[in-house]
Structure 1
Amino acid sequence: MKYATVQVEDPEGLHVRNCARIMAAATRLDADLSLIYGEKTARADRILELMALEAPSGSVIEIHAEGKEAKTAVDTIAQILRT
């Protein structure tokens, strides 16, 4: 398992465009990805679960990944959250 803790940098927080980018990346990578914010957990390939995290700008999200491309998956999702 690979994981990272990342701060959401977008001034609008984790919004629909970022969620769509995360979902697109998650569906093309060979890894099971989840994002955790507070008490909420979302599978990265489920846009409604991602949006339900309601993570504002500056919030800290944990990214967890398992699978062949776990490291690439964590790095990719972390980059999306940082932009």
Structure 2
Amino acid sequence: VSQPVGADKAAYLAGWDAMNTAVHAIVSELHGSISAEHGIGRLKRSLLPGVKDPVELDLMRTVKAALDPKGVLNPGAVL
């Protein structure tokens, strides 16, 4: 969900957590994903443990480590 053009940024961000909670509840109920083709991004990284099982998270870390063993490509990003 993006901030509407011309909307007050502070007001939009004040409702960010409530909006995400509502949207992600619907997504979860419908067995959807909290992210799409662009990956998870830094803003949603902390949400992963709530929507992915530990095996999936471990696999993501393993693949990232195999492709970037020194951790220099997009540090902090999730595969």
Instruction: Judge same fold: TM > 0.5, yes or no.
Output: no
Structure possessing the higher radius of gyration over alpha carbons:
2
Give the number of the structure whose residues are more often helix, by fraction: 2
Q: What is the TM-score normalised by the length of structure 1? A: 0.30
* Higher RCO (CA-CA < 8 Å; seq separation 6+): 1
Give the number of the structure whose residues are more often strand, by fraction: 1
